[in-house]
Structure 1
């Protein structure tokens, strides 16, 4: 149930290779096409070579035709091409060849050329991009074939044929929901056994029949062979930074430098000889007040009257505090024509606040509305929180002078600062910050960071804030130790990610990667949700990351992740299971019955052929006695063989089925849902209670509320979906926009999880832990820019972690 907007691969005109110009790319990748090969001459081929755009158009028309196809498996092509791409899909695009195909470089450095059309996955067997084939349930084929850009095939297992035949024979005698079997069912089973008994005996002796012996169990899940070769936009280590455009040898270090703190103001307005003048070099030990105001009240850019009023009020407030200096932004900051110095003053204003005696807010009157307008500005929040002491002072004009009043920071959260109400939460992020900065409550660094981002985000976007969205990060920077340089091209995510990496802020981005925000709530950004619990009722600080973010990518909301364990998810079919079964007395008898049944038949045939002359010449040397004895002996062999053959289906069920003690770990998915009574026979051949639903892996997990054991149960809507398909329509109507139902089977843990996502995820990243379970980030793979895009998050058992392989440098997008 991933909470995200549409992340679809752009159906590129790739690079329009009919032109010679490059396609812009912030990733620095050239899409300039190679020259087209000349047309063939002197042969039947007389037409000019097709352009890359024409080839791509033909490929898209074929891949989205909705027709059937075959590539070793029958499949249905999608019929609807997905809409336009999101911005990050074209930022660091892969290079293309003369035919318009993208050039992918795998982790071994080998290149592969492929069109970017339908959904793609990275094959874990030969490390090349392949078109994704998704097995789907009948309900999907009947009602949802026009949705999605991936190929579909019917859901099928890989069960030995002899087991299928045996289960067909025994099916009428299987107990019903009440554990009972009808007499008619037993009669029908006997008739079916008579029909298949002898063919089964023949098949069991053939060398082509699959063995019932336990196979070799692999110890790890299928690895995801991904590796991202592009330079990050920002990296933790300077050696991993993108080289300068002017020099390929020297890394570009300027983007990761941090601004030093401003230990004292560069300029102050000081009272000298009875006049307030600007001092460009104030004394180090001078004490001053910090003046705050909302420019919508005074219009200091255009109004001389407004500037005079603020300066008079600032002088009054300074003298009332017993000080002879104050800091006022438009007088003490650098002029606009010195942009670098001006930026330094703005983004280090927090240091000026920390060094002041008190913070005084200038308002035109003492009305609550004006104070709330001041409190709604994004930049005023750190000014108040960092104010020395527990109070902030307000200065307002009276009939003959000015009045100075104080207000406790906690008191301001009810009358000056307004936070959106969060269901189930006591107070908003601003209230928590006010209590922390007044010493009433101690927040962890992670709680300070997440609540600060949420509080600043709540103030962005109102009519009083004419700033760029990335300014949230620069306002937040004042509450932290290390600073970053301003970059005009940075998005909000990139700015906060840089700030987080620079301050070692308890792995904020790594924890964000593991969070699962409610996908139904798209009214706020992911950063504004940081202080809220996610869909699993988990807070940011409850997660313990198991990976490291090593860089920020060119694309928005995208990072480079290292040391993250990755598992490939298989979608095309269920493989033949390699298991270790319980070896008990029943299995021993089953092996004896299967092995000896054919032997009794063969020995009877051998006696018949060997002693056939005695039957042809009844008056021979030995007479009727020996002849009759042979007849009875042969008949006895055939009778025993027939009896053992009659037990054959039961023996096969035990040999190929039985209790599973260990199974090779795999993650296998399919689109839609199936009851376990239908799903387990696809994997193991029959339903013997081997699979169970995970009790708390996804929001669809279900269990009895008064259960004494932590055991997952099959949701009733899945059980009833066979008899009443309308229940699936009701569930799908409640899903987030664009989401579809998928099922994930873990053959290692023998558990089943149902989740929703926009696209079938092909990779599971074990990125963190919480509550005694792993956080597995389910990602689809975008071939066009070699990026994993988060589709959802599920919880998995901790023993999966050691059975997965760690990966280096994967590019992961958290979504919009």
Structure 2
């Protein structure tokens, strides 16, 4: 090891290359006699304590394939080391043996993992060791330990946050657009914390920004998506151009649209022309002409004392018909301007709080016509149920998030929108977003009103 501080740091973080070319991995355990390791502590207990450290994790993975690990313990015979295979080591020593087994099989050349799967499994295995078994030297320790598994290794910068160190490592390596896919995830912890009012570990992915939580700086390693999507299921359509201060992600190529908060807009729509709608429009437009024609015929037919007049009878019939059409014009107008929407002007309209769908339709279309529906998967607050009234079997429909209908689904499965707690000193509030393109309404909980929606990727037919 070099005596120079900078070179010494590079040597420490490059120890993985030494392990790769080693002939054998030997582990030497010693009893300290302190509280952590009493004098009667056995070898397996000491080895488990050694295995909780993050920096020992890559040494086992990168050691020579098909070779056993030699474990020596102080005060025990040196000519009788404990020889244990890597797979048995993972089973007996590591708590995450299910994940570690996949990584060991990969490095033992008995199983193939994609680059994306390798990083995801490595992060899942490392983050527990960071939280429970490793002393803190720098914020980017997790990424520096992961760096030993990668081909391209950026220089260690102790001023980087944990997320910045990981981002530099990910962008330097061709990791199948890992960061772009992570942007599209909504971690389960985030969704639950946003509802319960506690400070989220990770902000909404649509804003393209990640924030650090004081209790857990490795929040970004949470890859459990609220909708159950996996990273390899997502097809990103944007590109990360850089990482700025405060763990901010700079996106390029993402599609975006603004959310309007000033007022409700009149939406231009297109409906299909039918014979009934065309006839109703003709009757409404012809009503003034029929009415005035009837008045004219009655007025020019002479005085009533002159006896029966066919002209007066025809005029009276026109006036009666016009009166009937005037009284029925509200229903005719509803029929003309209602019906299935085949095309609509795309807008995102937001307001604070909650409102009934019929009231929202009155403000946008002028009258309730059941064109809007609650989004079944619009946000973490969305609720849905099986539609029993439709002919389509097992059709899913969205329901009002504030309705406590226990027959919809398990009430403990999805969070309730309870706007309590604080984030950065601001109380959490409920907001409603109306999408006039898909004709859906969704609720979300945030400290401040979202001003823009970004489209970063897709998974099947679901957009992120």
TM-score by length of 1: 0.47
Q: In the alignment, which residue of structure 2 is the partner of 1:732?
A: 417
Q: For the structure 1 residues 400 and 634, does the alpha-carbon distance in structure 2 shift closer, same or farther, using more than 3 Å as the test?
A: closer
Determine whether 1:751 maps to 2:440: yes
Deviation at 1:415, TM superposition (A): 2.8
Partner of 1:446: 116
Paired residues of 1:571 and 1:669 also in contact (CA < 8 A): yes
Residue 256 of structure 2 corresponds to 566
Q: Quote the residue 1:545 is aligned against.
A: 236
Which residues in structure 2 correspond to 1:648-659 (within 5 Å)?
Answer: 648-659=329-340
Distance 1:454 1:676, change over 3 A: same
Per the alignment, residue 771 of structure 1 pairs with: 460
Higher fraction of helix: 2
Q: How many angstroms does 1:527 deviate by?
A: 3.6
Aligned residue in 1 for 2:54: 378
SS of 2:416's equivalent in the other structure is helix
- Unaligned 5+ segments in structure 1 are 1-332, 420-426, 722-726, 776-816
2:54–2:133: 8 Å Cα contact kept in structure 1? no
Larger RCO (alpha carbons 8 Å, 6+ apart): 1
Equivalent in 385, 396, 402 of residue 703 of structure 1: 385
Deviation (angstroms), 1:736: 8.3
Is the 1:446–1:541 contact (alpha carbons within 8 Å) kept by the matching residues of 2?
Answer: yes
Shift of 1:630: 6.2
**Aligned-pair distance for 1:516?**
0.6
2:88 to 407, 411, 417: 411
- Equivalent in 273, 278, 286 of residue 583 of structure 1: 273
Aligned-partner Cα distance in 2 for 1:604–1:400: 120
Give the deviation of 1:351 after TM superposition.
0.9
CA distance in 2: counterparts of 1:731 and 1:769, whole angstroms: 26
Shift of 1:378: 1.4
How many Å apart are 1:678 and its aligned residue? 4.0
Q: Deviations over 1:763-813 (max 9, x none)?
A: 2211111133211xxxxxxxxxxxxxxxxxxxxxxxxxxxxxxxxxxxxxx
The counterpart of 1:624, out of the listed 302, 306, 313, is 306
Q: Aligned-pair distance for 1:493?
A: 0.7
Secondary structure, counterpart of 1:460 in structure 2? helix
Tell me the SS of whatever aligns to 1:601. Answer: helix
Match of 2:322 in 1: 641
1:667 partnered with 2:348: yes
Distance 1:732 1:661, change over 3 A: closer
Counterpart of 1:367 (choices 43, 55, 72) is: 43
| TM-align CA RMSD | 3.2
Residue aligned with 2:54, SS: coil
The superposition leaves residues 107-150 of structure 1 with CA deviations (integer Å, 9 ceiling, x where unpaired) of xxxxxxxxxxxxxxxxxxxxxxxxxxxxxxxxxxxxxxxxxxxx
Give distance in 1, aligned partners of 2:94 and 2:130: 13
Assess if the C-alpha contact under 8 Å between 2:429 and 2:448 holds in 1: yes
Deviations 1:598-657 (A, max 9, x none): 112333455677x59x66xx9xxxx9369x666555544432321221221121111222
1:713 pairs, out of 382, 397, 403, with 397
Alignment match, 1:395: 72
CA separation in 2, counterparts of 1:368 and 1:734?
Answer: 49
- Counterpart of 2:164 in structure 1 is 494
Query: By how many angstroms is 1:568 displaced?
Result: 1.9
Report the count of equivalent residues: 415
| Correspondence for 1:596 | 286
Alpha-carbon distance, 1:498 to partner: 0.6
Find the aligned partners of 1:434 and 1:400 in 2 and give their Cα distance: 29
2:129 alignment partner, one of 438, 445, 459: 459
2:281 and 2:336 in contact (8 A); partners too: yes
SS at match of 1:538: coil
